[in-house]
Structure 1
Amino acid sequence: MSKIRVVHYINQFFAGIGGEEKADVPPEVREGVVGPGMALNKAFKGEAEIVATVICGDSYFNENLEEAKQKVLEMIKEYNPDLFIAGPAFNAGRYGTACGTIAKFVKDELNIPVLTAMYPENPGVDMFKKDLYIIETGNSAAAMRKAVPAMAKLALKLVKGEEIGLPSEEGYIARGVRKNIFLDKRGSERAVEMLVKKLKGEKFVTEYPMPNFDNVPPNPAVKDMSKAKVALVTSGGIVPKGNPDHIESSSASKYGKYDIDGVMDLTSETYETAHGGYDPVYANEDADRVLPVDVLRDLEKEGVIGKLHRYFYTTVGNGTSVANAKKYASEFAKELVADGVDAVILTST
């Protein structure tokens, strides 16, 4: 029996081309294995082999989505694969989005099994978990050794058409799919048993895990806004014209801090949006629609607020991971406190 033919997709970093400075490289294909494909090939234990590796920069893929999808698909088709694997992407947001996007596209267009792998907080998970099997990984490439065997095992099951077990058994992220199964005990008995274990403080496994929502308690109200220093923060991607810090249009890996001392109005000649998740026309015409500097200057003149902080902080919320968003906020929140800011207006899109 011939080996299962696999095409593997990775980004510029795992291909050894470079980091963020090379994220704009267009799609290319190389014969055989590259980077993490070596570990995958070994984990297949002779049952499958990677016949080609498609590589694309994260920025290029996400900023040229339709074109990149078609180019990558054509490269994949040339090798007539039985299976397609993307990643693992770990917690790299743009990489995860690219892996999910191309995996779903290949699945829909070529009708072959596909698989990818990500950290649960990668934005690609929420985007594609209902469409794809996504192996759960750790936060970074340090978890590669654990991720690869799980990927290989599930990939072989998929291509062989074998029955796929529960997420806890196979290592993939729950897809929200519910199946009817027969058990020895009816639901009411199992529910009571779980409740008793919970009351006793014993371990139990729920059959229907609830989503875990982050609760943020509100701070006390500002006592006197007429004396308050107010800062602007936005996930709407407003940046000085030309996007000097090259904040990505999706799955941003950074945020910007910009001086608006003396700026009374954000004009189309001086500011724009870097955001790729909404129609930028109106924001580019007047960035105050997303970051209301003009209104706050009026309130400053009228004495409604004490002062508008001289810096604003900005990033792109589109596809940006929760972990990165928390990281950015924890960094600049310290600066805001140190600068004596009393209140922050956080705008989105």
Structure 2
Amino acid sequence: MDHPIRVVHYLNQFFGGIGAEEQAYAPVQFKDGAVGPGRALQAALGDEATVVGTIVSGDNYFTEETESAKAAAGELLDQLKPDVMIAGPAFDAGRYGLACAEVCRLAQDRGITAVTGMYADNAGVLTYRSEMLAVSTGIDASEMAPSLQKMARLAMKVLHGDELGPASVEGYVPRGFRRPIAHGHFGYERAVGMLTARLAGNPHESEMLISNYDVVPPATPIGGAENAVIGLVSSGGLVPRGNPDHLVGAHSEHFYRYPLDGFDSLSVEHWESVHGGFGTLILNTKDPNYAMPLRTVRHLERQGAIKSVYPTFFSTTGNGTAVSSARRMGGEIAAELAENHVDGVLLVAT
């Protein structure tokens, strides 16, 4: 290029140095130069490009006030005129991922090379997979430095007009495009080769991307709810105020039991949510029953629509929780409920 390469970085309120969840509604703002992870991005870019500024926004602001956020971010892009937009990486943070995707789309609409990074199951990928270039990352910031290095390399490659190879080679999330390529062997030869390798127990790699998901058959319906004992489980991070058991806001490996005897409803004076994956303002200042609807279930109990409520509820955080941990916790909770003759469970997700 005939001028120094200008890069603008997008970060959320946490990585942008504004604050944690209490700043999730912070509006779009600008900071000069590289901020926080942007310094590692600058190191990855080397002398080839300069991070001239950082756009920062609260996760909730961008996902709830999307049009206002996009207008503000777009105005900054028009003023800064970058050659490259780097967003995130967002890892497995859903709101952050959606914001990164929107910022990349804004940049691309202006002819700016845009690259982000996030976990393959992030909401941003699931929503905008085909519309953005996202480096595949792990679930959390422990992979920050290598993710930024991959993002910088990919951005420079796209900027210079170099042809991108397959996702499995370049390290980005597959976008759903299929391109014809020349191969040294016919399809039937490759298929037979994979089959014989599999039969012999030798390593082989399929040419199709296959996602394996558990199929969980639904339980049989409750016959006669008026005679049923109902248990309550929440993945909304609901805990007694002060979080005495130190339930984490993400990647939980534990659940906790809390008594319901004597409670007809949950109040903000005694309960709060520590979930780190959504805005907890309403739960923690107005009504925690949204995350665990005890008030409504007690009403059903008084009406005779159900027999009773199990006197203990189970709480964990479903934010970025590994499938293996969720399966183990679910099994332990189910075993206790079954042992105590609970007929059905109301599982409140977020």
Q: Same fold (TM over 0.5)?
A: yes
Alignment-derived partner of residue 269 in structure 2 = none
Taking the aligned partners of 2:212 and 2:84, their CA distance within structure 1 comes to 33
- Do the aligned residues in 2 keep the contact of 1:6 with 1:49 (CA within 8 Å)? yes
Q: Does 1:197 align with 2:201?
A: no
Alignment of 1:333-348 (within 5 A): 340=340, 342=342, 343-346=344-347
What SS is found at the alignment partner of 1:130? helix
Alignment-derived partner of residue 102 in structure 1 = 103
What SS is found at the alignment partner of 1:8? strand
Taking the aligned partners of 2:168 and 2:186, their CA distance within structure 1 comes to 22
How many Å apart are 1:329 and its aligned residue?
8.4
Alignment-derived partner of residue 283 in structure 2 = none
The one-letter amino acid of 1:150's match is: K
Q: Does 1:53 align with 2:54?
A: yes
Change (3 A) 1:309 1:107: farther
The one-letter amino acid of 1:213's match is: Y
Alignment-derived partner of residue 231 in structure 2 = 231
Alignment of 1:285-296 (within 5 A): 293=297, 296=300
Change (3 A) 1:24 1:347: closer
How many Å apart are 1:327 and its aligned residue?
6.3
The one-letter amino acid of 1:136's match is: S
How many Å apart are 1:170 and its aligned residue?
0.9
How many Å apart are 1:17 and its aligned residue?
2.4
How many Å apart are 1:123 and its aligned residue?
2.0
Taking the aligned partners of 1:84 and 1:187, their CA distance within structure 2 comes to 40
Alignment-derived partner of residue 86 in structure 2 = 85
Alignment of 1:252-263 (within 5 A): none
How many Å apart are 1:60 and its aligned residue?
2.0
Change (3 A) 1:63 1:179: same
Alignment-derived partner of residue 271 in structure 1 = none
The one-letter amino acid of 2:50's match is: E
Deviation sequence 1:264-292 (CA, Å, 0-9, x none): 999xxxxxxxx99xxxxxxx9xx9xx996
How many Å apart are 1:198 and its aligned residue?
1.4
Taking the aligned partners of 1:127 and 1:10, their CA distance within structure 2 comes to 19
Alignment-derived partner of residue 17 in structure 2 = 16
How many Å apart are 1:29 and its aligned residue?
0.6
Q: Does 1:297 align with 2:295?
A: no
Structure 1's unaligned 5+ residue stretches are 246-251, 267-274, 277-283
- Do the aligned residues in 1 keep the contact of 2:139 with 2:320 (CA within 8 Å)? no
Q: Does 1:140 align with 2:144?
A: no
Deviation sequence 1:48-90 (CA, Å, 0-9, x none): 1111111111122222111111111111221101111100111
Q: Does 1:209 align with 2:209?
A: yes
How many Å apart are 1:37 and its aligned residue?
1.3
- Do the aligned residues in 2 keep the contact of 1:90 with 1:137 (CA within 8 Å)? yes
Alignment of 1:239-254 (within 5 A): none
Change (3 A) 1:297 1:113: same
- Do the aligned residues in 1 keep the contact of 2:314 with 2:333 (CA within 8 Å)? no
Alignment-derived partner of residue 183 in structure 1 = 183
Alignment-derived partner of residue 321 in structure 2 = 323
The one-letter amino acid of 2:171's match is: G
Alignment-derived partner of residue 122 in structure 2 = 122
The one-letter amino acid of 1:82's match is: D
Change (3 A) 1:348 1:92: closer
Normalising by structure 1, we get a TM-score of 0.74
Alignment-derived partner of residue 281 in structure 1 = none
How many Å apart are 1:147 and its aligned residue?
0.9
The number of residue pairs the alignment matches comes to 322
Deviation sequence 1:138-174 (CA, Å, 0-9, x none): 2211111221221111000111121001112111111
Alignment-derived partner of residue 75 in structure 2 = 74
Query: Superposition RMSD on alpha carbons, in Å?
Result: 4.5
How many Å apart are 1:134 and its aligned residue?
0.8
Alignment-derived partner of residue 173 in structure 2 = 173
Normalising by structure 2, we get a TM-score of 0.74
